[in-house]
Each structure stands twice: as structure tokens, then as C-alpha cells.
Structure 1
Amino acid sequence: MNNSSKQGKTTAIVAYFTLVGALIAMSMNMESKNDFARFHTRQAFGLHIMFLGFALFLSYAFNQYAWYGLYIFYLVLWGYGFVGAISEKKQAVPILGPYFQKWFTFIQ
């Protein structure tokens, strides 16, 4: 593993640790513009924004089972993306991953 892919892997892993981690990963990738890191930063940022958006919605329309569903959905997709980052694979998270790549093109 060369230094470039190691830096990309580190940035990709950092992106999955909360929304703050995704923002830190964006700043880490500003100079190197690593394609692998960019891909996973978009995936992680999308997951975190999606989770926060649905959580805000559910805070007004409280349903205990909807919260369970949201957490399960988020954790499964998060785990899928995180394992992909660790194993150095550019695999989009199911269902929403391709949309995250289109919507968050501002992440360089």
C-alpha cells in the first residue's frame, strides 16, 4: 500500500465517524484530492445528513417503531460503508449511495 492510498483510506475511515468526522475528512482531502477518500466522504456525509433529517422529522411525528427502523436502517448502511472503507473498496451503500454521489458533488 503506497502513501497515497493509505492517506485516502485514513480519510475515508474518518468520514464515517459522525458528521463532524465527515467535515474533517473534507478538509483532509482538500489538497490531495484522493478519489477513494472523496467517494467515501460523499457516502458518509450523505448517511449522516439522511439520518439527521429523518431524526428531525421523527422528533415531531413520534413513533417508537419508526425510530427503531431508522436506527436499524442507518446502522446497516453505515456498517456497509465503513467496511468498504476499511477493505479499500469503492462500493456505494445500497439504495441511496448512487444518489449521494450525484447530490454531493461539491465535496472535492
Structure 2
Amino acid sequence: MINQSVNEGKTAAIISHFWIIGLIIAFIMNMSKKNYFSSFYIRQMIGLNALQFLNGWIVYKFLGGTAGWIVGVLLFVLWIISLFGAIKSEEKLVPVVGEQFQNWFKNF
């Protein structure tokens, strides 16, 4: 049963990794029939997109381009880890902040 649920939600989980548009599409796909696996990755990507937005507006502005670039690379690595977890059908938390994303965005 769990494996079937993962297979049903895998497409939306992978789509959620492709920028804001993919996140919106995955959210809409998950609205009619809630899937735990899809919801897990939607929450992860809401958090990563929020961090990327904050990086673009706050880190670049107040700490400079080099700091913003370093944070951007770190966020890209976290995105890759999450994407490979979704492709492998594993619930892989993003290191450091993944557990907080699951708690903060538990209504999604």
C-alpha cells in the first residue's frame, strides 16, 4: 500500500522541484487526492523556494554578491539532494532545514 502511494505521488513530487510554476502545478495535482509522498516534497520545495527568495532579496542586498552566490550554490545542492530523493522514491529530508520545513508547512 505504501509503495503504491509513493508511485502515485512520484510525478507530482518530481514536478514540484521545477521552480515556482512546477510547485504550483504539483500543488494543484495534489489538491483533489492528497498523497503523502507528494505533500512531503511540496513542503520541502516551498521551504527551498522561500530560502531562495530570501537569498535573492536579503543576502545579495545586505551581504553582497559573493555571499549570495555561496548561499545560492548551497541551496542548489539541497535542491539536487531533494530531487534525487524524489526520483528514487525516498522521503529524503533536505539536510539542516528539511525537518523544519515539514513542521512549518504541515498544512500543505
| Alignment TM-score, normalising by the size of structure 2 | 0.89
Gap regions ≥5 residues in structure 2? none
Q: What is aligned with 1:8?
A: 9
Stretch deviating more after TM superposition (80-89 or 54-63): 54-63
String of CA shifts for 1:59-84, please: whole Å, max 9, x gaps. Answer: 42251211221211111000000000
- Partner amino acid, structure 1, of 2:80: G
- Partner amino acid, structure 1, of 2:88: S
Q: CA RMSD in A?
A: 1.5
- Partner amino acid, structure 2, of 1:58: V
* Within-5 A mapping of 1:1-108: 2=4, 4-61=5-62, 63-107=64-108
String of CA shifts for 1:20-40, please: whole Å, max 9, x gaps. Answer: 211211110012211111001
Equivalent-residue separation in structure 2 for 1:96 and 1:58 (angstroms): 17
String of CA shifts for 1:8-64, please: whole Å, max 9, x gaps. Answer: 000000000002211211110012211111001110111011110121103422512
The offset of 1:5, in angstroms, is: 3.4
Paired residues in the alignment total 106
Gap regions ≥5 residues in structure 1? none
- Contact 1:84–1:91 (Cα < 8 Å) also in 2: yes
- Partner amino acid, structure 1, of 2:68: W
% same residue? 33
